[in-house]
Structure formats: structure tokens, C-alpha cells
Amino acid sequence: MDRKLYKMPFRKEYLPRWVCPTCGKGILKIKQDTFNSVETPGSKKARRHEDWDPDWIEYVYSCLLVCSNEACKDVVANSGEGFVDVDVDYDDNGQKVQKWFDFFRPKYFYPHLKLFSLPAGAPKDAVEEINQSFELFFCNPPSASNHIRIALEKLLTYLKVKRYETKNGKKFFLNLHRRIDLIPRKYQNLKDFCLAIKWLGNAGSHSDKKITLDDVMDAYEIMDEVLRELFEKKQEQIKKLVKTINKKKGPKGKK
């Protein structure tokens, strides 16, 4: 995961290489004549202050992005915030100079970007939670982190880790930590990964914990590894099985 791609603000002339969420191949470009930015009322009012400087300026922006893949050409709506800061440019003599430029930071995409690919076979309810996280990533990192935690709960259910225990005829739901402890032996290598996702998700649920984009991307990278371990390896095993059966033109035989 290229973290700078999602963390760094951009200038209108240099859009990050965001990948199209529809085809997963093309790069999103600003559709001609759709980029609009407006200075906020509070920013305009601040201009009257005697200490005003250009880096006090604040914008809101919106635009349409279009996929560069000719076979796709899907359109993505994008909006966010903007500000002014110093950046390096070149004068007519090719010398580096510092100038004020408008910068922008995305808050919303529709349809949302897909920050990591999801393997075939991943349970639908867990995938839905991960996609909910992607939707919230730029505008609400704590909620995005919490949805990854919920995705982990769904994944444990898929792995047949029990959700509750019955004592004296009463049903008691198990917390996530207890469920992770109950992960089947063949998945024990994933236990520490699951615990890390749990801690990040817990932090996202508490207002006193500051969750950053980096924290959410930590959760994404860990979840990506868990999903690959569970489903891509399974796919490789199935491919080997198919190859063996086809080679034998029948059952693979007893072990």
C-alpha cells in the first residue's frame, strides 16, 4: 500500500494516481471543467485580521473523476477541503523558487476507492464491512477502523468460532478477545494478527483515542494479510488439486 497516495494533499495540476474502483486498472483523472473550489465564509472573514497570511485560507472543493481505461471510463464523484501552502516551482530561467499554491485533501469518493484488493472467497458480510471502512477512510478514520474490527468478527464467525456460551440455561455472548482465543488450532498463526486488528478497532470506538489514517492503514495491511492467508492459499491448494485430478484423469487416489 502506497500510503502517500492516500495521505498527501494534492495540487489540482498533480492529482494522485488513484486507481479506478470499478475496473481496478485505470487511473482517475479530473474530468474537464468539473473542478470547483470555493473559499469558506470563515476564511473570507479571517482576511480582515491584521496578522492574516495566505496560509489561513480554507476551501471546500468538488469535482468529477473519470477512469483513464477506455474500456471502463467510469465516473467518480469527489469532494473535500483545501488550503494554501508554500511549494517549490521553477521560474523562467529554470531556477527553483517558492510560491503559494492551493492544495486539496479528499474527504469523500463515490463510488469509494478500494484501498486494498479483496480475495475471491472472502465472506460477503466481512467484505461489506471492509467496504464500509473504505467509504469512511478519508472522512472518519475512527469509524473506518471500527468497521475493520466488525469485519474481523464476521470472519471469525465464518471460521466457525462460536459467538456465545450457555451457562445455567442462559446465553452469554463472547467478546472479541475471547473469540480470538478460541480460534481453531489450524489458524493459530493468525491469532496475533487478529489481536492487533482488535486493538486498533477498539481505539476507533473510544473518543479519547486519536486514530490517524496511518492507524487505519495499519489495520488494512494486517487484514489484507489475514485474508490472503485464509483465501489465496486455499485457492492455490484447489489449483493443485485440480491439476492432480486432471493429470490422473480421475480421483487423485488414497494418501
For β-strands 28-30 and 164-167, DSSP reports them as unpaired
- Supply the pTM of this predicted model: 0.86
pLDDT, residue 255, reads 57
Domain spans, the chain: 1-114, 115-255
pLDDT, residue 242, reads 82
At 114, phi and psi to the nearest 5? -110, 105
Burial label for 153, CB within 10 Å (0-12, 13-18, 19+), is buried
Q: For the chain, which ranges sit under pLDDT 70? A: 206-209, 235, 253-255
pLDDT, residue 79, reads 98
Q: Which three cell numbers stand for residue 240?
A: 493443485
Q: Which of 104, 101, 18 is nearest to 60 (CA)?
A: 104
pLDDT, residue 126, reads 97
Helix (H, G, I), strand (E, B), or coil: what is residue 101?
strand
Residue 14 gets which letter from DSSP? Answer: B
Q: Which residues contact 101 (CB under 8 A, 6 or more apart)?
A: 11, 84, 85, 86, 87, 89
